[in-house]
Every structure is written in C-alpha cells, then in structure tokens.
Amino acid sequence: MICKLFRLFFRPLRCPTGVTLLELLAVIGLMSLLFAFSLPALGSFVKSSQHKKAARDIVIAIRLARSLATTSGLEHRVEIDMSGRRFRLAHGDRYSGSAVNSYDQNIVLDWQSLPLSVSLRANTDCSVDSGSIFFHANPNGTANTRYLCILDEHETFQFRVGIPYARTGKVNIHRWASGSQTWR
C-alpha cells in the first residue's frame, strides 16, 4: 500500500500532450529569460520607428502642400514648431505673396504632434533648435529650400527632411549614418 501511494505522489505529472510539468516549467522559464533580454532591443526599435514615422509624416505633409498648391493655385506651407514638436499645413490667400495672417485662417491640417522622443533642429547643419520654420509650396511647383533634422532624446541625428532645390520642390529624406558621420 505504501508503495502504491509513493508511486502515486512521486511519479512525473504528465500533461495531455505527453510533456511533463517540469519540462513545461523549464520551457516557460527559458522563454521568460529570452523575453527579458530582448526588452532593451525592443525599446530601441520602438524609438527608432517613432523617429522614422516623424520624418515620414513631415515629408507627407510637405508633399501634400506641394500637390494642393499646384491644384488649387494658392500658396501652401507646412509650419513646424520646433520647441513644441508639432507641425501643421495651411494655405495662403494668393498665388504668390499671401498675407501672413491668411495662413492662420486657412488651416488644412491642424497641429500634428510628434513623439516626446523626437527633437527638431533646422538648417542644413542642424544648428537652429528653437522657433518655427516653414516649408513653402508654390502653385508653379517650386518651393523654398529648407532642412529639418530629427534627433533622438540624446541629441543624436536620426533623419533629415529637406528640399535641396527650390526649382523642383522635391522633398528628400536622409538617414544619418553614424559610422561615416554623413547623411545617406
């Protein structure tokens, strides 16, 4: 009788699939360890994707401004508030030389906030870190030349959005290559 009780309590417990409870616990423990080690990399990936999304959102707004300017015959601009980490799209009241206050009255896309992990700077060398900048789009397809740099919370360059040639108005996006210290 004692032998039967001993075998009943100390035999390996089996799940319906034929795996012992001890094996199941070992696998769960191993998976937990792997997950814990991957969390820092996952956080880095999420922040990197936020920077990429911020750059793409601004590029989309600038391209939309250019498209709307050519179809409507009115100047359009993307205003970027660098301190507030936000941007908006508005149109002027004329083909060229629109009144400054007309942009505040003709909002196409209201303020869009960027993530807290994003810092903004302006100019080709990313030297301006406060104030507002504007990407102007004209009905003839031209635009002002301007650059906006997107940095992470450690002030490391991530992306640069800009219009290098006023005549074409084409928007470029570059990623910072930290190994070669250049924009690609």
Write down the pLDDT at residue 36: 80
Cβ of 109: how many Cβ atoms within 10 Å?
15
Cβ of 174: how many Cβ atoms within 10 Å?
17
pLDDT tens column, 17-50 = 666 777 878 889 888 888 888 777 666 666 778 9
Write down the pLDDT at residue 153: 87
Q: Which of 119, 125, 115, 113 is nearest to 158 (CA)?
A: 119
Residue ranges and CATH numbers for the domains of the chain are: 50-183 (3.55.40.10)
d(CA 34, CA 184): 34
Intervals of the chain under pLDDT 70:
1-19, 41-46
Write down the pLDDT at residue 30: 87
d(CA 16, CA 24): 12
Cβ of 82: how many Cβ atoms within 10 Å?
20
